[in-house]
Amino acid sequence: MQPIKNAKSLAIAIVILGWIAVIAQFYLIILNRTASVGETIIRFFSFFTILTNLLVALCFTFLLTKSSSTLRSFFSRKSTLTAVTVYILIVGLVYNLILRFLWQPQGLQFVVDELLHTIIPILCLIFWWQNERTKNLEWRNIFPFLIYPLLYILIILVRGSFSGFYPYPFIDVKLLGMNKVLINSGLLAICFAVISAIFIGITRYKQSKLINNPDFQSKIGSL
């Protein structure tokens, strides 16, 4: 077994599939648009699924580079991969537990949906499990992990109050009312916090087992 080589191969697969899925979904939403091109593009980037898969694609793209850029440094930080994995895993969980049954995509849309909501989350989880070796990841990291989803919800609610467009039924103020949407948003925040805590706990446990290994070396830094 060659762990570093395997890690790089898996990262390459995530990059290729991630960019293909995001670009294909953009093509499909433009092709089947019911609003102007400009509004359709804004709506495209209003989906947490799209933003998070784009984040995954960017993260793994920069992990594969050898540059010393600010973005490469950010995506190589000890907590970034864990946070990105939490986000994409929740994308998969929410879709497969709640949203999958609301429609029946066909053809290319079916393939893209499976990539965005199932295959890429699973591949990211596998990569994280095999390669994440962070030191000193603290429980307080849960709070910065929550910034991205909370900021997303805030932006969607503000824009939705003007445009009337809400990308998901559980945050649709027109359908549910603001009180119900705020409750749903709070439950989602709790979900993010709990899963983040689980990931941090696993990371700390794995680190405690590896820290005394004289041959220990971060695979992320060796990609």
Alpha-carbon distances of 103 from 62, 99, 129, 167, 171, rounded to whole Å: 34, 8, 32, 14, 18
HEC-encoded secondary structure of the chain: CCHHHHHHHHHHHHHHHHHHHHHHHHHHHHHCCCCCHHHHHHHHCCCHHHHHHHHHHHHHHHHCCCCCCHHHHHHCCCCHHHHHHHHHHHHHHHHHHHHHHHCCCCHHHHHHHHHHHHHHHHHHHHHHHHHCCCCCCCHHHHHHHCHHHHHHHHHHHHHHHHHCCCCCHHHCHHHHCHHHHHHHHHHHHHHHHHHHHHHHHHHHHHHHHHCCCCCCCCCHHHC
Q: How many domains does the chain have?
A: 1
How does pLDDT run along the chain (223 residues), one tens digit per residue?
A: 344 558 889 999 999 999 999 999 999 999 999 899 999 999 999 999 999 999 999 999 998 887 777 888 888 777 899 999 999 999 999 999 988 888 888 999 999 999 999 999 999 999 998 877 666 678 888 999 999 999 999 999 999 999 999 999 999 999 999 999 999 999 999 999 999 999 999 888 877 766 555 454 455 455 5
